[in-house]
Amino acid sequence: MYGVVTGEVDEHGQPADDTVVVALAGDPLYVGVKLLDQEHRLEDVRLLAPVLPRSKVIGIGRNYAAHAAELGHDLPSEPLMFLKPNTSVVGPGDPIFYPRQTRDLHYEGELAVVIGRICRDVPPEQATDVIYGYTVANDVTARDLQKSDVQFTRAKGFDSFCPLGPWIETDLDPQAFVDGVRVQTHLNGDVRQDGTTADLIFDIPTLVAHVSSVMTLLPGDVILTGTPEGVGPMEVGDEVEVSIAGIGTLVNKVAQR
């Protein structure tokens, strides 16, 4: 069931104590927002992934200069795109499964853009018209397979490799990302990534224009905007937390597959 989460989220990605969820009739991406007379406290509900992409998750690689440098790459001259299957999506609190095929499973905390309507060839200046909102993502990556395979499909595509959530922020001025929104990743409580969207090489309108010049975007499709520096390994039992100021905090644990 879908719902509207009310209230503000602070600069650490934490919601206010009095946050409630108002139930909706149907999926708002397809039927619009139809409020039901049914309200729950946030702590009483179990959140699922806020969107199941109808067709695709598009990842953008090396979109922060310091992250490209830490992996030993030059800066891309245009956005580097890859796909994650929609079957990789899981929600807040769901396990990230450690596949037996890798020995180097990495977190990548990222801002995610959720598309709200079918579109193609979107000019950058109209990008916000097709954006439904923003959420938090972990672009989980098998780093060893990313290096050994020519394509990213396996390294980025295992089930549970795309945690999304905890919800979609639909009321955010996109100028905030230009000014700089903090993106942080904690592993077992220790800060590992601390970036700002002000450092994005290609900004969100540029990404929407670029991706939609290649493939039609459908409602519920998701664009991952890239990860700041500080990527690193996770082990079974680790808790990984990605926070974006004003949007939310996404927490998942790594489990044996």
Q: Which residues bind Mg ion (CB under 5 A)?
A: 108, 139, 227
Residue that has been written with the tokens 């991406």 in this structure? 29
Closest CA to 222 of 83, 45, 98, 108: 83
Closest CA to 81 of 64, 61, 99, 100: 61
Q: How far is the CA of 242 from the CAs of 71, 83, 219, 252, in angstroms? A: 20, 21, 24, 9
SS3 of residue 74 by DSSP: coil
At its nearest, how many Å lie between Mg ion and the CB of residue 18?
34
At its nearest, how many Å lie between Mg ion and the CB of residue 170?
23
At its nearest, how many Å lie between Mg ion and the CB of residue 106?
9
Comparing every residue's Cβ against Mg ion, the nearest one is 139
Give 17 or 74: the residue with its C-beta nearer to Mg ion: 74
Q: How far is the CA of 66 from the CAs of 11, 72, 226, in angstroms? A: 23, 10, 11
Q: CB under 8 Å, gap of 24 or more: what pairs does 216-219 form?
A: 216/118, 216/119, 216/120, 217/115, 217/118, 217/119, 217/120, 217/122, 217/130, 218/53, 218/54, 218/55, 218/56, 218/115, 218/118, 219/29, 219/30, 219/54, 219/115, 219/116, 219/117, 219/118, 219/132
At its nearest, how many Å lie between Mg ion and the CB of residue 129?
26
At its nearest, how many Å lie between Mg ion and the CB of residue 248?
18
Give 135 or 227: the residue with its C-beta nearer to Mg ion: 227
Give 68 or 131: the residue with its C-beta nearer to Mg ion: 68
At its nearest, how many Å lie between Mg ion and the CB of residue 200?
12
Give 94 or 108: the residue with its C-beta nearer to Mg ion: 108
Give 64 or 167: the residue with its C-beta nearer to Mg ion: 64
Contact 194, 64 (CB under 8 A): no
Give 108 or 241: the residue with its C-beta nearer to Mg ion: 108
Give 139 or 241: the residue with its C-beta nearer to Mg ion: 139
Cα(160)–Cα(232) distance, rounded to whole angstroms?
A: 18
At its nearest, how many Å lie between Mg ion and the CB of residue 59?
5
